[in-house]
Structure 1
Amino acid sequence: MQTTRVSLRGLIDKWLGARLAAPARITRVRGARAGQGGCVRVEVSGPSGQLSMFFFRHGDCGWCVFPPALNAG
């Protein structure tokens, strides 16, 4: 699947922009290792409660809501 390179801030604004009345809490889930991207959890609080989403860093240094494909080999 081909993706367009997107910054983490741009992706958070796209998915959570309307809910960001309060600051978001960003937590690193796992660090970047050889052949893998990073993953962060973004938490926001709103009138209906707390929402958490995961964002994954891909090999092109862009961020997506789906993890990068595993390299078999």
Structure 2
Amino acid sequence: MNNYCVSLRSLVDKWLAPTLSMPARVTQVGRVLATHGRFVRLEGRTSTGPLTIVFFRHDDGSWSVFPPVPASPAMCGRLFVN
């Protein structure tokens, strides 16, 4: 498990570097239907033009630009002895 939890605020500062003249704003908040995970879409401006980034929340509480991998079905290997 990842013990280093990345906050959404630190990722926004890293990727969009908002300032008073070029702020970042939330354009959409929602859930991914397949994984029921949360996502936030942010829009900002850079020197080259507008930039939109979607951040996904992972099970450990961290945020990333990559969506979490959905859990796949698994079989239990436990032996039952009478």
TM-score (normalised: structure 2): 0.68
Number of residues paired by the alignment? 70
4+ aligned runs moved over 3 Å, structure 1: none
3 and 48 in structure 1: CA distance in 2 versus 1, 3 angstrom threshold:
farther
Counterpart secondary structure, 1:9: helix
Q: Provide the C-alpha distance between the structure 2 equivalents of 1:47 and 1:56, rounded to a whole number of angstroms.
A: 25
Identity of aligned residues (%): 44
Whether 1:46 aligns to 2:49 is no
Q: Deviations over 1:19-72 (max 9, x none)?
A: x23221113342377x53211111102332100111100011110111111111
CA contact (8 A) 2:25 2:43 kept: yes
CA contact (8 A) 2:2 2:60 kept: no
Unaligned runs of 5+ in 1: none
Find the counterpart in structure 1 of residue 57 from structure 2. Answer: 57
Aligned-residue Cα RMSD (Å) equals 2.4
More helix by share: 1
Query: Bigger radius of gyration, 1 or 2?
Result: 2
Unaligned runs of 5+ in 2: 74-82
Q: Provide the C-alpha distance between the structure 2 equivalents of 1:32 and 1:38, rounded to a whole number of angstroms.
A: 6
